Amino acid sequence: MKEIKVLGTGCAKCTKTIEVIAKIATELNVDVHVIKETDPEVIMGYGVMSTPAVIIDEVNVHSGSIPHRQEIELWLQQ
């Protein structure tokens, strides 16, 4: 099972990002576990400054906006 972390200090876009990823995962029938990470210390640890950011397998794959559908599909299909 894929573990995806969404980093953000509770802004509207971060919540939206989680929803979008979960929705597309259901559509593609991929089993994922989406975690919301709001602790500033942890976010700093990933070196992220623009939220929402997406971390997959401890790698920062995206930051600063709600990711596009194509990007999410690509991550999920890997």
Partner 1 sequence: MFEVFTDLATWLVVDVFGLSKATKLGDALHFFIEDTTKIFFLLLVMIYVIALIRASINVERVRDYLADKHKGVGYILGSSFGAITPFCSCSSIPVFLGFTSAGIPVGITMSFLITSPLINEVAVLLLLSLLGWKFTLLYVVVGMSVGILGGIFLDAIRAERWLQSFAAKALERGQKASSTVQSKQVESLSLKERHTFAKEEMLEIFGRVWKWVIIGVGLGSALHGFVPDGWIEEHLGNGQWWSVPSAVLLGIPLYSNATGVIPVMESLIKQGLPIGTTLAFCMSTVAASFPEFILLKQVMQWRLLVVLFALLLVAFTLIGWIFNYLTPFI
Contact between 49 and partner 1 by CB under 8 A: the answer reads yes
Contact between 12 and partner 1 by CB under 8 A: the answer reads yes
- Show Cβ contacts of residue 7 under 8 Å, excluding neighbours closer than 6 positions: 14, 37, 38, 42, 43, 46, 48, 51, 52, 53, 54, 55, 63
Contact between 35 and partner 1 by CB under 8 A: the answer reads no
Choice between 2 and 46, CB closer to partner 1: 46
Q: Which residues of this protein are in contact with partner 1, per CB under 8 A?
A: 7-14, 40-41, 43-44, 47-51, 64-65
